């Protein structure tokens, strides 16, 4: 079984599941998953996990994400992006100045509560929100806490004299679970103007930048030349920042059987440790503070 992470540059027009299916076929492997769904009309960094790395999807998703995109003021849609039906318009608003735009972005910095859009994959009572939306049903949506650490304009906005809309180009650094299209709509609401997200690219996710990604076309070419393995990043990329302990042969034997390790023998009080043997990450162990023992959390290659 092949294990590792493929930092994919997901193209516009494909679902995240479509990308997983394509990679399953290319690598002839069933154990494949992605971290952090991207909508079909969004492109950019989508880490795909293979083999043991699928156990680290949560680790990858826990890291912050960076997006670049565009908010257009003047109309709103059912889906909060260009895939939906227009539900509100206002083409008589006064275009925002750079100062107003920057003040608006500052308003959203820090911890805040966000309600996910109806057209999203969030589950409520066992059904996806988009399923309720497609059947014309309403349901109370769960509130979620998100964090915006950076939200700024990346170039001058564009005022279209024909459509009488204003498009604002932004970069945002946000926590997992953030719906950027909802952020775009909320930005418009802050100024009392209907808004929609008109473009979005994920620039970083799971510690991978857009510059590190590979395309599906590159993977298909690699398959033809027998170089697919070279496109895989080690699963350790999902463990960056965690302290590492090299195991002795006897310690690794205990780990192979799910045994506990004494905190003193590992000379650590860190909450989580990456255990490595023969230059390969084998497991993560967490500290049971009361018993001063490290116990299994996630197990990888143990042979």
From the number of C-beta atoms within 10 Å of its C-beta (0-12, 13-18, 19+), residue 37 rates as: middle
User: What is the CB neighbour count within 10 angstroms for residue 288?
Assistant: 12
On whether the CB atoms of residues 216 and 11 are closer than 8 A, the answer is yes
Token digits of residue 238: 């999902």
Interatomic CA distance for residues 73 and 168, integer angstroms: 8
Token digits of residue 211: 């510059």
On whether the CB atoms of residues 57 and 239 are closer than 8 A, the answer is no
Interatomic CA distance for residues 242 and 240, integer angstroms: 6
Active site residue 39: yes
Interatomic CA distance for residues 33 and 39, integer angstroms: 16
On whether the CB atoms of residues 9 and 45 are closer than 8 A, the answer is yes
Residue with tokens 């170039």: 155
Q: Which member of 39, 81, 186, 281 is catalytic? A: 39
Phi and psi of 19, rounded to 5°?
A: -65, -40
Q: Which residues are catalytic?
A: 39
């Amino acid at each position: 079984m092949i294990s590792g992470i493929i930092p994919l540059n997901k193209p516009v027009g494909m679902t995240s599941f479509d990308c997983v299916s394509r990679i399953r076929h290319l690598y002839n492997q069933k154990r494949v998953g992605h971290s952090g769904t991207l909508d079909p009309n969004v492109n950019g960094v989508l880490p795909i996990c293979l083999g043991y790395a699928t156990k680290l999807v949560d680790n990858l998703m826990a890291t912050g994400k960076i997006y670049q995109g565009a908010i257009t003021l003047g109309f709103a849609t059912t889906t909060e992006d260009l895939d939906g039906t227009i539900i509100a318009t206002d083409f008589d608003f006064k275009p925002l100045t750079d100062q107003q735009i920057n003040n608006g972005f500052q308003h959203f910095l820090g911890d805040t509560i966000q309600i996910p859009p109806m057209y999203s994959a969030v589950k409520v009572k066992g059904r996806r929100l988009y399923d309720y939306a497609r059947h014309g049903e309403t349901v109370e949506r769960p509130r979620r806490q998100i964090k915006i650490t950076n939200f700024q304009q990346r170039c001058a906005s564009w005022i279209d004299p024909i459509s009488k809309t204003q498009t604002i180009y932004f970069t945002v650094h946000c926590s997992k679970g953030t719906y950027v299209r909802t952020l775009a709509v909320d930005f418009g609401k802050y100024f009392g103007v209907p808004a929609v997200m008109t473009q979005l690219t994920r620039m970083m996710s799971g510690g991978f930048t857009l510059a590190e990604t590979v395309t599906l076309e590159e993977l298909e070419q690699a398959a033809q030349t027998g170089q697919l393995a070279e496109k895989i990043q080690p699963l350790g990329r999902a463990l960056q920042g965690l302290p590492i302990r090299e195991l002795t042969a006897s310690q690794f034997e205990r780990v192979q059987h799910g045994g506990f390790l004494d905190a003193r023998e590992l000379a650590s009080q860190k909450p989580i440790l990456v255990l490595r043997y023969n230059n390969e990450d084998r497991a993560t162990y967490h500290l049971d503070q009361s018993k001063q023992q490290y116990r299994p959390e996630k197990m990888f290659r143990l042979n």
